[in-house]
Structure 1
């Protein structure tokens, strides 16, 4: 049985050399849970996933997709990228508060 996190998060924009991305930052107890899940998976498999990411099934509103979350700042924060497809489907824009459900895989 997998664990599910439900977080209310601020959608923000990040501009990089390769384009503009929309993302949410996961912190606090949810970030601690993600870090523990990553450690347990690493112990179980004997190796770590790319960039120490954690696979999740993400849901925002009625949109659900399989993706990964990535650690930031020594695993005290994690980032979930939100694609343009999800933003259009859920009518989201920068600065919106959203509720994300993350099923840890």
Structure 2
């Protein structure tokens, strides 16, 4: 359906839980919004297959009003395998998961 590659900075959510995210570049978010099926998933989320380095996982991206983009959660297992930490700029590849 759609495939996107970009660099983004990994950041730590300041709330409880230690969640790490990247904010997708606005241009990538615009393309995803154009290709996505409105109302298919809750809260405006989109199912994706994400990849960084040698690690691939299935997740969802979530709309972020503050940036006008989407947030991609990067789980601990991925961060461990790829030795990632908040503040690093990382290359990601996303594919829309049209199931």
Aligned equivalent of 1:22: 20
Give unpaired runs (5+ residues) of structure 1.
none
Asked which structure has the greater CA Rg, the reply is: 1
Structure 1 residue ranges (4+ consecutive) displaced by more than 2 angstroms after TM superposition: none
SS at match of 2:77: helix
User: Among 59, 73, 77, which residue is 2:69 paired with?
Assistant: 77
User: What is the aligned-residue RMSD (CA, Å)?
Assistant: 1.5
Q: 1:29 Cα deviation (Å)? A: 1.2
- Deviation for aligned residue 1:76: 2.1
Flag the structure with higher strand content.
Answer: 1
Q: How many residues align?
A: 97
The question of whether the paired residues in 2 share the 8 Å contact of 1:5 and 1:102 is answered with yes
Normalising by structure 1, what TM-score?
0.85
Contact 2:50 2:93 in 1 (8 A): yes
Secondary structure of the 1:7 match is: strand
Alpha-carbon distance in structure 1 between the residues aligned to 2:9 and 2:42: 25
Unpaired segments ≥5 residues, structure 2? none
Report the CA distance shift for 1:30/1:7 in structure 2 as closer, same or farther (over 3 A).
same
Cα distance, 1:20 vs structure 2: 1.4
Aligned counterpart, 1:33: 31
